[in-house]
Amino acid sequence: MRSTFHGIELAKRSLFAHTAWMNTTGHNISNANTPGYSRQVVNLVASRPIEAPGFSKSGMPGQLGMGVEYESIKRVRERFLDEQYWNANRSLGEWEIQADTLTKLEKVFNEPSDSGIRTVLDNFWKSWSELSKDPENVTSRKIVRENAMALMDAFNETSKKMTDMQNDLARSVTVKADHLNTLTDQVAQLNYEIYRIEGLGDNANDLRDQRDLLIDELSKMVNVTVREEDNGYVVTGGGIELVNGRESTQTTAADWEGAYNGNALSSGEMFGTIKSRDVLVNDYLSQLNELANTMANGEVTITIPSGSILPEGTVLNDITYSGTNRLLTSDLTVTVKGLNGLHQLGYTFTKPAQKGEVFFTSKDGGPITAGSIRLNPNIEKDPNLIASSMRVESKPEGDVAVKGNNTLALLMSQLKESSFKFNPIGSNNGITKGTIDDYYRSILGQLGVESKEALRQQENNSLLVDQVEGRRQSVSGVSLDEEMSNLIKFQHAYGAAARFMTTIDQNLDKVINSMGVVGR
């Protein structure tokens, strides 16, 4: 036997259920543009009918419906797409940083231009050729000196810019580690809140959205894996367990360096930053160092023409030149150690003539690098110490350099097209023998290839991330059109339920107030 007020209850349930839906729709509309938000739906189910099979079942036919109720409010989301997003995002992070670094390196080298190392290098060789035409003239010497100093400045400046970049990248690792700690703290906090709410049987939709948004951000920084356990997400990044339930691990830059060196950190911005510093910038810096050092000290073969007089005590090809055999009677092909070695075979214009000093020295006395190379300070002070002549005349007051002899200046200018021996260790440049220009060009060639590849990878991964994000938006994004039509749908249902209640009310009114008054 059903209750008199059955209809009222039924209508009330309908009003409640549809109110819940309309509120959820309102929530969806409000969060249409909230980052990480997934649309929510209300699970409506028909209420359980009252007359279950059993002894107390009345004899009335049929199961009378008991109206509607909502079971749960859920967010619409696909975990699979999240995983895809996280995978694509970490590659994007890695390549973004690398592309950025390589683009900056291109700016540092600034080629092709009229102000890069190539230009000053060309000017340096040209000044020796100019000197060979006019070796007597101090002006030509000063031009050689100025161009040598310009070249040194270019080397020093480029090296400094790269070292600065390395320092910036190192700082960036620390900043990123700090940021990562903030993120993992928040994830752990959310883990706990979600655990508490869902322990009571509800879905913590909005908190889950926030947690996933944090993982989105994390996934760009390091290669994360996420496992869902009873106590929440267990997040591992670069081999380090970052979050487990309520607990988060605080990491430092050193931890990430360790993970990078142990190959556990294999992707993401953190990886890209450390790789940029230790591999990319480092490689180009060491190539530039090799270039500077080889120019100063690298082995190169030259031919000294006959008639030249070697400085007393010179040792070439294991032969010591002293006394009368200093005068070469035939052309002599020998290997010397770079511009420094060659310069020491000539004579300065001092009185008496001295053998040339080393041309390049190191600022700090250590090995010559692009950062430490400088023109010999003595030559910087006195351009007459630039040797251009390879011939002396004995005079009563001592040896005097033959000023018109331009052999050394010619040999120096010839070094432009001479093959130097390069040390391939410590860099990715495979050239073991080649001209200074060749080596420099190969640096730029490699930079171009790497930079283009990084830009391409960045572009591809960005497309991939966008594509996955599009899929996610397709599933979880709020469509206002949809929400509006839902709103109308539920508004209509709400109105109808209210009308239904009114009908029942009128029925009851009839029964209570209008019945049993016949003949009044």
Partner 1 sequence: MALRVTPGMMHRQMVRNMHSNLTRMDNRQNVLSTGMKLNKASDDPVGITYSLRYRSDLSINEQYQRNADTAKSWLDYTDTVLTQVNDMSQRAYELLTQAVNGTNPQEAMNACAIELKQIYEQVVSLGNTQMNDKYIFNGQLTDVQPYDLTTAGTQKTDNMSIQYRFAEGAGLNINITGNEVFGEPKAGDNLFLVLQQLQDSLRTGNQDAARSELDNLKSRLVKVNEARSTIGAKINRIDLISTRLTDLELNLTDMQAKTEDADMAETILKVKQDESVYQASLATGARIIQTSLLDYLR
Residues in contact with partner 1 by CB under 8 A are 32-33, 102-103, 106-107, 109, 111-112, 118-119, 121-123, 125-126, 129-130, 132-134, 136-137, 307, 391, 393, 402-406, 410, 413-414, 416-417, 437, 440-442, 444-445, 447-449, 451-452, 455, 466, 469-470, 473-475, 477-482, 484-485, 488
- How far apart are CB 67 and partner 1 at their closest, in Å? 29
- How far apart are CB 229 and partner 1 at their closest, in Å? 31
Closest C-alpha to 73, from 45, 46, 47: 45
Contacts of 1 (CB under 8 A, 6+ apart): 58, 60
- How far apart are CB 441 and partner 1 at their closest, in Å? 5
DSSP 379-439: HHH-GGGS--B--EEEETTEEEE-TT--HHHHHHHHGGGSPEE---TTSS---SEE-HHHH
- How far apart are CB 219 and partner 1 at their closest, in Å? 18
Looking at beta carbons only, is 50 or 487 nearer to partner 1?
487
- How far apart are CB 196 and partner 1 at their closest, in Å? 31
Looking at beta carbons only, is 235 or 304 nearer to partner 1?
304
Contacts of 22 (CB under 8 A, 6+ apart): 487, 490, 491, 494
Looking at beta carbons only, is 361 or 389 nearer to partner 1?
389
Identify the H or E element spanning 90.
helix 79-109
Identify the H or E element spanning 373.
strand 373-375
**Helix/strand/coil percent split, the chain, to 5:** 55, 15, 30
**C-beta separation of 154 from 120 below 8 A:** yes
Looking at beta carbons only, is 111 or 206 nearer to partner 1?
111
C-alpha count within 13 angstroms, C-beta hemisphere, residue 96: 16
Looking at beta carbons only, is 417 or 505 nearer to partner 1?
417
Beta strands in 195-248, from DSSP E residues, in sequence order: 224-229, 232-237, 240-244, 247-248
DSSP 452-501: HHHHHHHHHHHHHHHHHHHHHHHHHSPPHHHHHHHHHHHHHHHHHHHHHH
- How far apart are CB 437 and partner 1 at their closest, in Å? 6
- How far apart are CB 429 and partner 1 at their closest, in Å? 13
Looking at beta carbons only, is 86 or 109 nearer to partner 1?
109
Chain Cα centroid distance, residue 8: 65
Looking at beta carbons only, is 47 or 418 nearer to partner 1?
418
Number of Cβ within a 10 Å radius of residue 432? 11
Give CA–CA dist 417/408, Å, rounded.
15
Looking at beta carbons only, is 178 or 438 nearer to partner 1?
438
Looking at beta carbons only, is 176 or 275 nearer to partner 1?
275
- How far apart are CB 91 and partner 1 at their closest, in Å? 18
Q: What is the CA radius of gyration of the chain?
A: 41
**C-beta separation of 359 from 339 below 8 A:** yes
Chain Cα centroid distance, residue 486: 45
C-alpha count within 13 angstroms, C-beta hemisphere, residue 344: 16
Closest C-alpha to 335, from 418, 259, 397, 404: 418
Residue carrying the six token digits 């009222």: 8
- How far apart are CB 485 and partner 1 at their closest, in Å? 6
- How far apart are CB 474 and partner 1 at their closest, in Å? 5
Looking at beta carbons only, is 101 or 184 nearer to partner 1?
101
Looking at beta carbons only, is 147 or 372 nearer to partner 1?
147
- How far apart are CB 180 and partner 1 at their closest, in Å? 26
